[in-house]
Structure 1
Amino acid sequence: MTDTSSTRPAEGDVRAPRRGVLRRVLRFLPLIAPLLLWAVPCWVLLYGGQHWPLPVTLSGTALSVLGLLGMPVALARGYGGRHQDRAAVLGSVLLGTAWVLFTWSVLLGVVLRLALTAAGAGDGQGRARAVTWAVLGVSAVLLAWGYAEARRVPRVRRVEVPLPRLGGGLDGLRVVLVTDTHYGPLDRARWSARVCETVNALDADVVCHTGDIADGTAERRRAQAEPLGTVRARYARVYVTGNHEYYSEAQGWVDLMDDLGWEPLRNRHVRVERGGDTLVVAGVDDVTAESSGLAGHRAHLDGALDGAGPDLPVLLLAHQPRFVDRAAAAGVDLQLSGHTHGGQIWPFHFLVRLDQPAVAGLSRHGERTLLYTSRGTGFWGPPFRVFAPSEITLLVLRAAGA
């Protein structure tokens, strides 16, 4: 089954200022987000008319303050210069927990309270306490389920993609997409091996990894990444960098993937030939590469397509969906991306949508170009996935008239 959605209209002079304002507002989120994430649930659960006994109120407030102060400190120690894995895990768990509590405090704090009031159920304190227990119950269930969803081997998602320029000899070509594995503070070497076993069972012609392999250097995360060397593909195993590679040592990841038998497509392409027809498989560095200051790293689509031939169908690997504007302008047939995680923890996808033209699934951009955005194979930061399941994607390419 194929998910399809229309891309947003091309942004002209009217849309550009709005996006500029949104991005300026988003710059202040790191300052106000922690306060909101902890203060709103604290108020809804403890102070919104419940009149809990004083020890309960004081204990709950103390926990909220500890979360508010401890979360940014742990995240800074874990993902900053110190790279302390235990701190990263603690900060990530606190972040995910706070986000879920915040979301459902807002939703149930308004919706359930209004519903109970309209139904005339209980007095003010009774309704407030009902909201508290509902928020805690829903949050606990979602966090437990979200943790299991994040840690399991992703389900395979099969998508048929029609490409009018694809030659009949390539009809049915099986392309497997893995992305955003994010090997990190939680050791997932066994999970990595099971993911690779699942990929190998798909009998792929081409296997793609569209970046964000890990958080940390290749040397530090090598044990988790090494199972990627066991992945099999009939014609090619190809890889492009994501933005997270540029938070550590991107060239180290390029070198390691090369050592593991993958072909890093750093602004270049390879050809897949079958039945007398050819598919160009191209790749570009992530759009953040140039600002990283790493010599020779930048997203250069003209270089990736140089010598490809204007009449050949092109499959492009680009980590971020927003690269699709350039891909469409160049006449690319299909772009494969990740980066969004499908929002990872609902309803974060609404914020992702402010920065990216697609969050998940297959979408059309321009007259020719299709974009497939994966929800990602792993997870970043909070070890939770809520209403945004991870995936290993099997894309079956179909020729015109097939």
Structure 2
Amino acid sequence: MRVLVRRGLTRGLILAAVLSLLFGVPWWTIVGEPAWPTAVTVIGTVVFAAALLAFPVLMYQGHSKKARDWAARLGDSTLGAVWVLFVWSIIGQVASLVLPSTVVAVSVLAISAGLLVWGYTEAMRVPRIRRTEVEIPGLGPDLDGTRLVVISDTHYGPINRVRWSERLAAAVNALEPDIVAHAGDIADGTAERRKEQAAPLGTVHSGLAKVYVTGNHEYFSEAQGWVDHMESLGWDALHNRHVVVRRGEARLVLAGIDDYIAKGSGEEGHGADITRALAGADPTLPVVLLAHQPKQVTIAADAGVALQISGHTHGGQIWPFHYLVRVDQPSVHGLTRHGPATQLYTTRGSGFWGPPFRVFAPSEISLLTLRVPR
């Protein structure tokens, strides 16, 4: 009991320290340090104090088991805003060595406001198409030029994005894909709760295959329910399994494994298992593997996978968070090589998690053109 109390106290102190810094640095830069009139200082202090006190309550109300979408919207937006203010306040503190504190305060506010407006617009827009050619050793000539379209991290959630989802599906269909892959993190919430937003995924068309794997957020929201729901929408859930696509004489193995956290989630029958995913596959055929988190590429490389497709990172989503992502993941976005035979494509994702902002980390629909090596 004492150990549990001590751990709880330690976590509480760490959380308090983090929040104090996150809100305190912007308060000092914008309100405390400049020589504002007393009324401005008081009002600014009250605003920051109210936000600091309300934030943990809103996050708990919005993301607990009885999640309330209105609280999540407010809490997530506060998180995004204070992160941007925090980052630019630190930059402002450096600038204050040569600039007056009032100039720094106004500049931090103006830059942060501009970035948040732009970041919200970026988060809510239909993702841009990002085109990449990928050479796949062993790919048969009849599959040369195969158009593999990747979406990921749609994160349907507290903000109702049915119209966005419809436009996303239309953009994918306009690419006339041979294969469509969803690399996980469909939603924040159960399939029953977010089915209206996810419904347009059922309108996505492909010539050869339409496949999906679970992301970590499915394991916060009844993952098996999402596997079943995606199959009802016409997607082939690669739950530690594979399918073979054919064109002419050429064949390609499309495999998928559960998310990195699946085994520890308590979801019965879930857990990344590449041996089971590739069981029965012709070892002479190239393998394209869907695995939500880039760090699962170590498993892929050991299995001789030609290409792993992942999401999860969002490209950092809000600058400069990508530096923290890089600590946990081997790739933040783009095409990278891991070992002698395995490539990894990490998409920035199509939606956003939590804060409805994307700053210097644009969303994407990834169009991968598979090529026979020249």
Compute the TM-score of the two structures, normalised by the length of structure 2: 0.95
Cα separation, partners in 2 of 1:386 and 1:276, compared to 1, 3 Å = same
Query: Shift in Å at residue 36 of structure 1?
Result: 1.2
SS in 2 for 1:336: strand
Aligned CA distance change for structure 1 residues 34 and 284 (closer, same or farther; 3 Å) = same
- Superposed displacement of residue 248, structure 1: 1.2
Q: CA shift at 1:113, angstroms? A: 2.1
- Structure 1 residues 38 and 267: alpha-carbon distance in aligned structure 2, compared to 1, 3 A threshold: same
Match of 2:241 among 254, 259, 268: 268
Structure 1 residue 362 corresponds to structure 2 residue 335 = yes
Match of 2:190 in 1: 217
Query: 1:34 Cα shift?
Result: 1.9
**CA deviation map 1:223-279 (0-9, x unaligned):** 000000000000110000000001011111111101000000000000011120111
Q: Tell me which residue corresponds to 2:316.
A: 343
1:127-206 superposed matches below 5 A: 127-206=100-179
Of the three residues 36, 46, 49, the one matched with 2:31 is 46
1:375 aligns with 2:338: no
Amino acid corresponding to residue 114 of structure 1 in structure 2: L
Partners of 1:355 and 1:66 lie apart in 2 by: 33
In the other structure, the counterpart of 1:98 is 82
The one-letter amino acid paired with 2:348 is R
- Are 1:73 and 2:46 matched, yes or no? no
Q: Cα gap change, 1:205/1:138 in structure 2, threshold over 3 Å: closer, same or farther?
A: same
Distance 1:342 1:318, change over 3 A: same
Q: Residues 191 and 29 from structure 1, CA distance in 2 versus in 1: closer, same or farther, beyond 3 angstroms?
A: farther
Residue 13 (structure 1) aligns with: none
Q: Which residue of 2 aligns with 1:332?
A: 305
Match of 1:113 among 93, 96, 110: 96
Instruction: For 1:344 and 1:108, locate their aligned partners in 2 and report how far apart those are by CA, in whole Å.
Output: 22
Partner of 1:57: 41
Rounded Cα–Cα distance in structure 2 between residues aligned with 1:371 and 1:139: 34
Aligned CA RMSD, in angstroms, stands at 1.4
Partner of 2:368: 395
- Matched AA of 2:19: P
The one-character-per-residue Cα deviations of 1:301-323 (angstroms, maximum 9, x if unpaired) are 01001111221100000000000
Deviation at 1:27, TM superposition (A): 11
Q: Is the 8 A contact 2:59 2:71 kept in 1?
A: yes
2-structure distance, mates of 1:326, 1:26: 33
Q: 1:72 deviation in Å?
A: 1.3
Question: What do residues 279-303 of structure 1 show as CA deviations (whole Å, max 9, x unaligned)?
Answer: 1000001111111111100100010
Q: Report deviation, 1:29.
A: 6.1
1:359 Cα deviation from its structure 2 partner? 0.5
SS of aligned partner of 2:352: coil
CA distance in 2, matches of 1:81, 1:42: 32
C-alpha separation in 2, matches of 1:305 and 1:76? 41
Say how many residue pairs are matched.
Answer: 365
Q: Secondary structure at the match of 1:114?
A: coil
Contact 1:280 / 1:315 at 8 angstroms: preserved in 2? yes
* 1:91-111 CA-partner distances (Å, limit 9, x unpaired): 00100000000000001221x
Check 1:384–1:325 CA distance in 2 against 1; reply closer, same or farther (3 A cut): same
- Check whether the contact 1:168–1:400 (CA below 8 A) recurs between aligned residues: no
Query: Is the CA contact (8 Å cut-off) linking 2:29 and 2:92 kept in structure 1?
Result: no
List per-residue Cα deviations over 1:84-140 (Å, max 9, x = no partner).
000000000100000000000001221x22343xxxxxxxxxx11000000000001
Amino acid corresponding to residue 46 of structure 1 in structure 2: V
* 2:345 match: secondary structure: strand
What letter is aligned with 2:84? Answer: V
Aligned AA (2:29) = V
Equivalents in 1 of 2:160, 2:319: separation in Å?
Answer: 25
Deviation at 1:30, TM superposition (A): 4.2
- What is the TM-score when the length of structure 1 is the normalising length? 0.89
Amino acid across the alignment from 1:383: P
Name the CA distance, whole Å, in 2 between partners of 1:28 and 1:199.
Answer: 46
